[in-house]
Every structure is written in C-alpha cells, then in structure tokens.
Chains A and B, each alone.
Chain A
C-alpha cells in the first residue's frame, strides 16, 4: 500500500519570526517544547529525539535534517520503527507575528502502523480521552 496521509496543524503565533525560528532551530530550546535531542539545523545531520520509554517502545525517534531555510522552513525525517514520516515547519510572516504550519507526512494507514501507534500513544491518548469521548456524544 503506497497510500499515505498527512497531518497538518496551523497556528497564528503573536511573536516575530526570528524568535519562533530560534525556538524551532536551537536544540536546547527544542528540548523545552518538543523532546530532549541532539538537533542541529544542518542538512544531513542525524539526530534523535528522546521520549520517555514506554512498554514496547524505547522512546527514541530517529531523525535526519532534510532542509533548512532560516526563518522560513525546516524539515526533518521522523522515524519510529517501521514508521517513516517527515515533519516540516513553515513560517509565514503576518501582521501580528507568524503563521506556523506543522506538517507530518508519510503516515501509512495499515494495521502495523496502527498497532505501533497504540503502543506509543496510549499515555497521551488517555489524557485526551475525556475530550474525545465528550466529542463523540
């Protein structure tokens, strides 16, 4: 199956692009909002993001920087086991600050991925469950 899906999240952020770019591209700042890492904004740089280990997952996300355009665009691969996706951040200046677009592409809608997703995601899933349940009724 070659069908893949893409997750897109967009936010209006009332801060200058330069500042948002720093938060996206400096490893110690990335660690504050995303995950502990050894990221550098250099194309070809391989790094890991380290989430807390969970049952059946060591918590490690394997990444490689794919493209960098300062203040505008940052893209890296995001690999967990057999799941290979690409995360891309795009900044567009607005009157109030920037429009941030986060795109994660390459999701395969097959059972294997679903299973791994469940293992990785259950903790956060639980935190969101009440909202999810409320939305279903």
Chain B
C-alpha cells in the first residue's frame, strides 16, 4: 500500500509520533505496553498515535497471540525524500558544524 504524502507528513509532524517511530527504528519491535512504559503518554494515546503511523505506512502491526507487535517501516519515507533533499539537510548541518569548529580553532 502506498500511503499519500499528506498522511506521512501528518504522521511525522507530531513529536510524540516521531519519538515512537524513532524508538521502533532503533530498537525493533514493541508492543503498545512496552511503548507506554517508555513514555509519559497514556496507552490509549499511544494506540492512537500508532494508528496514524500505520495509516502512513510507517509502522506495521504483527499479531502474536493476544498481542500486537509494532515495527518501523522506514522505507515508507521514500516517497518524501530523495537524495537531494536529504543531502541538502545533511550538508547544511555539517557546514554549521564546520563554522563552529572554525570559531574554536586558533588562527
């Protein structure tokens, strides 16, 4: 399923959802309960966020017994990014660091 870019932007525009997505990207599969213990947000709120991330194709749920385990689908970002936009952000960030280094260096 190819999610519309609008759904992706909407999903990632929220800091809590970005945090959930980052956790899943970094640490692999989690249940709603596991995500809730890592967050200050309530379980129903986490579930709602996961629903929006799923709609955007960023998260997939896998049923295991009575539990659903959620995992990140970073490739769902593909429609939004190409190398140019990624590297644009990358180089702007790195050149900021270069300037900061130059300010710390001796003549």
Residues of A within 8 Å of B105, CB to CB, are 19, 22-23, 29
Residues of A within 8 Å of B66, CB to CB, are none
Asked if B2 CB lies within 8 Å of chain A CBs, one says: no
Asked if B107 CB lies within 8 Å of chain A CBs, one says: yes
- Within A74-118, the residues touching B (CB, 8 Å) are 83, 85, 100, 102, 104, 107, 109, 113-118
Lowest 10 CB-CB distances: which A-B pairs, in order? A121-B86, A33-B97, A118-B78, A117-B83, A33-B98, A118-B77, A15-B102, A128-B89, A114-B82, A33-B101
* Contacts A/B (CB < 8 Å), 9 sampled: A7-B88, A11-B95, A16-B107, A22-B105, A32-B97, A56-B74, A107-B87, A127-B89, A128-B89
Q: B residues within 8 Å of A by Cβ?
A: 9, 12-13, 18, 21-22, 25, 72, 74-75, 77-78, 80-95, 97-102, 105, 107
Q: A residues within 8 Å of B by Cβ?
A: 5, 7, 9, 11, 13, 15-16, 19-20, 22-24, 29, 32-34, 54-56, 83, 85, 100, 102, 104, 107, 109, 113-130, 133, 136
